[in-house]
Structure 1
């Protein structure tokens, strides 16, 4: 059991550490990251209940509706809702890259609990594949959500803030939906389609990480100059 639990938790903690250490400036409080991770973890149970209810009633069971409604929209909306109403106005969320950290934290909390349940049901044999695909994809959706949340937080234009908040919700929904649709529609050859999809997703996410860090490089000197004697 310990081996199974370790295999289920390790990918989430590794990815969280990776993105935390990518922050080239001041690191956010560990307590807040743990808090958002736990909130993401707790989302699994109400979402699983809703998905089970739809499945039992035979509603929205087509490939498109399962992928974009029951997986993409449902999961990403709840993550976004937690982010917006719990994290967005918090004092520790004060920079562009902070959005990425909190987005990843919420997403990996969700992915880790989901992974634990899946490995206990299906065995440790699927651990590597789960780490490379579902857990990683949740982290990358979190990067994109957090990037646009962080951009909205640092913008001084209200209309731009609103547009960025909309993008922070719908971009992860669309990408998550396509991820699940690949698995639904190409169940035999999914790995040949999903692998390039994941590579592109990683490249996009790492590009956003770089931009967020570069943004802080531009802002920090201005803030320091303001306090010079």
Structure 2
């Protein structure tokens, strides 16, 4: 019973956050099978990420900056980006800017959920510690996915040089945010909570603004308004 409770506590935050961003899609909800597929694909990337990170750690050492922005977050966000770009970027269901956020958070939260499960069963943790992880690393992964997906959505519906610009930003923004997250955790160990709480607050504000902006330029917005007027 305890094992089941720990498993549920490790999985629930990722599922809840994915449901939140999925339901934030105001105009054209994405097919659940594709969202679930990307969630599971994100979980499957944990093993290759761990292997690459171990190799880089042996090569670059444990410098806080190198670990935060290259070994840990650089590898994680690049592989998420790679999966997202090659599986969904040219998919026919990616037909509005907000779709990038849905699909990117699915990949990110799949990764974060399996990472959370492994942490719960390989480390001496309590439910309180899992709650802290739900509020910080897991929600952090969701927000890094929002930044990635928002920029990829802009790239998808841009033209000319703007496409490359937003594709680059779709990788650089989550790497920067995620790297800064880990850098704070590593370099301010005694008072990290006083810095991390306002930092997460800023990330959430930026994430919600990205959600609203992506919805506001949906091509289905006017169609839905017309349907509402007719009804």
Using the size of structure 2 for normalisation, the TM-score is: 0.92
Deviations 1:79-138 (Å, cap 9, x if unpaired)?
A: 001111111011111111000000100000000000001111222331100000000000
Q: Which residue of 2 aligns with 1:89?
A: 90
Partner of 1:215: 217
In 2, Cα distance between equivalents of 1:36 and 1:74: 18
Q: 1:47 aligns with which of 39, 49, 64?
A: 49
Other-structure match for 1:167 = 169
Q: Are 1:143 and 1:205, in contact at CA under 8 Å, matched by a contact in 2?
A: yes
The separation in 2 between residues aligned to 1:43 and 1:165, in whole angstroms, is: 21
Matches for 1:66-215 after TM superposition, within 5 Å: 66-122=67-123, 123-125=125-127, 126-155=129-158, 157-215=159-217
Aligned residue pairs, count: 222
Between 115-124 and 131-140, report the one with greater CA deviation.
115-124
Asked whether the 8 Å contact 2:27–2:220 carries over to 1, the reply is no
**Structure 1: gaps (5+ residues):** none
Q: Following the alignment from structure 1 to structure 2, what is the Cα–Cα distance between the partners of residues 58 and 187?
A: 25
Cα deviation for residue 3 of structure 1 reads 0.5
The answer to whether the Cα contact below 8 Å between 2:39 and 2:109 also exists between their aligned partners in 1 is yes
Q: Give CA-to-partner distance per residue, 1:167-187, whole Å, 9 cap, x none.
A: 110011011110000011011
Contact in 2 for aligned 1:7/1:124 (Cα 8 Å): no
- Which residue in 2 is equivalent to 1:13? 15
Cα distance in 1 for partners of 2:224, 2:10 equals 42
RMSD: 1.7
Gaps of 5+ in 2: 227-231
Whether the aligned pair in 1 keeps the contact of 2:77 and 2:171 (CA below 8 Å) is yes
1:62 equivalent to 2:63? Answer yes
Residue 222 to residue 8, structure 1, CA distance change in 2 (3 Å): closer
The answer to whether the 8 A contact 2:40-2:107 is kept is: yes
> Structure 1: how far apart are the matches of 2:96 and 2:27?
10
Deviation at 1:49, TM superposition (A): 1.6
Deviation at 1:223, TM superposition (A): 10
